[in-house]
Amino acid sequence: MSGKREWEERTVKPFVERTPERAVRFESLSGIPVERLYTPEDLADRTYEERLGYPGEYPFTRGVYPTMYRGRLWTMRMFAGFGRPEDTNARFKYLLEQGQTGLSTAFDMPALMGYDADHPRSRGEVGKEGVSISTLDDFERLFADIPLGEVTTSMTINCTASVALAMYLALAEKQGVAWDRVGGTMQNDMLKEFIAQKEWICPPEPAVRIVTDMIEFTAKHVPRFNPVSISGYHIREAGATAVQELAFTLADGLGYVDAACARGLDVDSFAPRLSFFFDIHNDFFEEIAKLRAARRMWARFMKERYGARKPESMRLRTHTQTAGVSATAQQPLNNVARVALQALAAVLGGAQSLHTNSYDETWALPTEDAVTVALRTQQVIAEETNVALTIDPLGGSYYLEALTDRMEAAALAYIRRIDAMGGMIRAIDAGFPQKEIADAAYRYQLMDDRGEKVVVGVNRYAMLEEQPINYLRIDESVELEQIERVRAFKAARDTARVERRLKQLAEACRDGRNVMPVLIDAVKDYVSLGEVSDVYRQVFGLYREPIIF
């Protein structure tokens, strides 16, 4: 009999008979059963080298860089964007003054869906959930006095990411910064849009084709730029479990690698610049295990499935963000504690960059005070707790390693199902990930409603009378002012040039040529984001979602 079983019989059984445990069954947030104790017996099936290896080496389980945070701390990258471009520019400057090390741009809904501020469908949404952008003129204001050669910028934008990249590169040129010095990240992960975030223009195939254009273009001309941030964040926020997040995100990544290889690109020419973005939810160890499993799985896929030779192609670098979905509107200051623990998990999981949510985001966009606490939380972890002194300090924990293995196996089972369907685009057409997520979201909510899952301050320790909090208000005049400005700006353009550029773009779309060179010329002539999107709509058609709930 194993030592663990002997211990169960000898010591645990008589003890539990007298003093029962708090529950009959314990499980992680994703429903993975959690045992009473983990020992070396749980890790006997693989060697140290197979499972973990060394930081900066295949399979990268313990971290993607040889020195990890001893060399450089993670990038503290707070997502910001609201109102007019100059409002967000002021927030960017504030964050940089406060010690933030990279920028991250939130765009408003019209920009994310391919409408200019002056489009009727944009009414009520301009500058509300992010910054309003219609033309290069707005981009110039957004990045005024920010040297694009020195700061890296991440942009959360997807179906219109090609326009944002074109504008960013046009702006770099204006600032006199060579493209090979420009660093940053476009989210540009369209597959997860169809699965989770749901901002789209055209159907999956042309959408992935434009993503592939960007992968190809940046690999050649903007080598420090990450053209895609393959995102589990939105998948998780839409209600997926950690296992589903892991599986669907990696499957999306495989989708882009397939598309780029099908175009004839050498895997080692673009794979080093694929980056990732994961959610960090409440289940502390599960989230750490998820990041470690993701690194190991991606390394194996790249090496074994695609024959990558460069270690950089096998290395899964990831941004992380604390879980918005875990925040509560009730007793909002409790969110500070949640965010701190989630942020700690991200760091112990070996993330390359981190956004910490603000406690007031269940009410509105965050105030400067709330953002500052969120940023300070990262600084406390980085500079006071000493968790960053050694690499992967939890590596070798029997529980964590067993959980990492377990999540890897469960995610692989999902990926095999998606492979069998013919890949992620086919799985999306069949509504498979959408349905899996909707079911998981509903199960989770029912557990919440029944009090099976405790939410502090909501279904336990609730208070009847709550103190109101201060929150950010965006004046309605911002929208009207921005609409007017865009209208006037567009009216003053050289319309013949604009028309010519749009025609060239439509031709490139139809001919299958890379759209990026045409787009860059187009935005320099102040062709707008909405006009480019109209071309996409006309050439590729609109996506209609299957209604699944």
370 binds another protein (CB under 8 A): no
321: left (phi over 0), alpha (psi -120 to 50) or beta: beta
325 binds another protein (CB under 8 A): yes
59 binds another protein (CB under 8 A): no
Q: What DSSP letter does each residue of 289-333 carry, written as one string?
A: HHHHHHHHHHHHIIIIIT---SHHHH---EEEEE-GGG--SSSTT
261 binds another protein (CB under 8 A): no
In the complex, the smallest distance separating the C-beta of residue 234 from another protein, rounded to whole angstroms, is 9
Q: Are strands 102-106 and 153-156 parallel, antiparallel or unpaired?
A: parallel
Task: Write the interaction track for another protein spanning residues 271-300; mark x where CB under 8 A is met and - where it is not.
Answer: ------------------------------
Which one of residues 298, 306, 359, 363 is an interface residue with another protein (CB under 8 A)? 363
Task: Write the interaction track for another protein spanning residues 107-126; mark x where CB under 8 A is met and - where it is not.
Answer: --xx-xx-x-----xxxxx-
b/e map 85-114, b = 16+ CB within 10 Å: bebbbebbeebeeeebbbbbbbbbbbbbbb
Task: Write the interaction track for another protein spanning residues 231-250; mark x where CB under 8 A is met and - where it is not.
Answer: ------xxx-----------
Judged by CB under 8 A, the stretch of 1-9, 402-410, 436-444, 511-519 that binds another protein is 436-444
Cβ proximity to another protein, 190 vs 274, nearer residue: 190
Q: Give the SS3 label for residue 78.
A: strand
Q: Give the SS3 label for residue 245.
A: helix
Separation CA 220–CA 270 (nearest Å): 9
In the complex, the smallest distance separating the C-beta of residue 128 from another protein, rounded to whole angstroms, is 3
Cis peptide before 59 (omega within 30 of 0): yes
Other residues' Cβ atoms within 10 Å of the Cβ of residue 158: 29
Task: Write the interaction track for another protein spanning residues 517-546; mark x where CB under 8 A is met and - where it is not.
Answer: ----------------------------x-
E strand or H helix at 226, and its extent?
strand 225-226
DSSP3 helix / strand / coil % (the chain, rounded to 5) = 55, 10, 40
In the complex, the smallest distance separating the C-beta of residue 459 from another protein, rounded to whole angstroms, is 7
Task: Write the interaction track for another protein spanning residues 7-36; mark x where CB under 8 A is met and - where it is not.
Answer: ------------------------------
Q: What DSSP letter does each residue of 104-116 carry, written as one string?
A: EEEBPHHHHHT--
Residues numbered 139 to 198 that lie near another protein (CB under 8 A) are 193, 197-198
447 binds another protein (CB under 8 A): no
In the complex, the smallest distance separating the C-beta of residue 469 from another protein, rounded to whole angstroms, is 9
How far CA 536 is from CA of 66, 168, 175, 504, 508, in Å, comes to 43, 20, 29, 12, 11
Q: In what order do the strands lie in the sheet with 75-80?
A: 225-226, 184-186, 153-156, 102-106, 75-80, 353-355, 318-322, 274-280, 228-231
In the complex, the smallest distance separating the C-beta of residue 164 from another protein, rounded to whole angstroms, is 16
Q: Which residue has the tokens 């979201």?
A: 441
Cβ proximity to another protein, 83 vs 184, nearer residue: 83
Q: Give the SS3 label for residue 460.
A: strand
| Residue 506 DSSP symbol | H
Task: Write the interaction track for another protein spanning residues 449-478; mark x where CB under 8 A is met and - where it is not.
Answer: x-----x--xx--------x--x-xx-x--
262 binds another protein (CB under 8 A): no
416 binds another protein (CB under 8 A): no
Task: Write the interaction track for another protein spanning residues 195-234; mark x where CB under 8 A is met and - where it is not.
Answer: --xxx-----------------------------------
Q: Would you say the C-alpha torsion 266, 267, 272, 277 has a positive or negative sign?
A: positive
Binding residues for another protein, rule CB under 8 A, total 48
Quickly list H helices, 422-491.
424-429, 432-449, 476-491
Cβ proximity to another protein, 122 vs 185, nearer residue: 122
Which one of residues 80, 133, 354, 365 is an interface residue with another protein (CB under 8 A)? 365
Q: Which of 286, 282, 77, 112 is nearest to 201 (CA)?
A: 112
Q: What does the binding site for another protein look like in residue numbers (CB under 8 A)?
A: 109-110, 112-113, 115, 121-125, 128-129, 193, 197-199, 237-239, 325, 327-330, 361-365, 438, 441-442, 445-446, 448-449, 455, 458-459, 468, 471, 473-474, 476, 545, 547-549
